Amino acid sequence: MFGLPHGATSGADINATIPAMNYRHAFHAGNHADVLKHVVLLALCDALTRKPSPCFALDTHAGRGLYRLDGEAAQTTGEARDGISRLLAESPRQPLLRRYLAAVQACRARHGDSAYPGSPWLLGYALRAQDRIAVCELHPEEAHVLRSQLAGDPRLTVHERDGYQALKALLPPRHGATRFGRGLVLIDPPYEAQLAEFDIALAALHDGLIRWPQGMFALWYPIKQGRTLQPFRRAAARLPAKSALLLELLVRPDDSPLRMNGSGMLLLNPPWQFDSAMGSALEALRDALGEAGASTRVDWLRAPP
């Protein structure tokens, strides 16, 4: 596992669809992993929109785009209480966290006090009229809800298809005569295949970089026992990106394989000085959401040239 030779994709086949029919993100919306992922996503979008030229965003595992934290699924797990709900109560001053909370409040102003935005909603919120967004969801029921949630946004296209396969079809991105030189690919799989999913994701990242070398790529991943991810980190460092940055938030020690103790984001070709910006944000998240033994990690697997 996690083997990625130089100049080649891994042995995993990104055309092989991993069954993800049992996973429903509604049970986990707004938890500490969502908070980390969405803080990073908004910061990446803000970096992209500092330049006037249009950009493109692809979300490969979109879910339904918008969630209700008072719904049965969210109430069953209660995970949002230790995520977005706790962060709102803390009211942190760190700028990137305030930006994220402003987006959540904007979503609630539009959709009700229990609403929580998924990454497709946040992409629509953060990007501009000249930008284009493609979101993929394989599960038919989730894709149907996603279309209805995001209907009316001319910038956004919903694809009911496997997100990994969409990388081949949609990269390099174009819209009519417009070719996008800048943009972002978010890969946020459910990891129902557990460690095998990392191989699929690494192969997808390698293929995506070959097709769109100037794009930014962000892979979210769960952390149960951090030591089991060392082969993944080594393989990620060998990807053909100009730079590779690892961001991790552990809300408790990563000493149990039975629960998600934290999560991370692998960023390929991230914005200039993104490590400095995210370092203080991760520390603020640790202070707000962490239990005893919580920690953060900001690590260049490949420093910028």
The alpha helices in 159-269, defined as continuous H runs, are 163-170, 195-211, 230-237
Residue 188: active-site member: yes
Q: Name the binding residues for S-adenosyl-L-methionine.
A: 38, 61, 119, 137, 162-163, 188
Joined together, the tokens standing for residue 299 give 């690590």
Backbone angles phi, psi at 70, to 5 degrees: -95, 5
Element (H, E) at 42: helix 32-48
Q: Quick one: DSSP state of residue 82?
A: G
Q: How far apart are CA 262 and CA 180, in angstroms?
A: 34
**Per the residue annotation, which of 188, 199, 207, 275 is the catalytic one?**
188
CA of residue 80 relative to chain centroid, distance? 17
Backbone angles phi, psi at 96, to 5 degrees: -70, -30
Angle at 52 between CA 147 and CA 62, to 5 degrees: 20
Residues labelled catalytic: 188
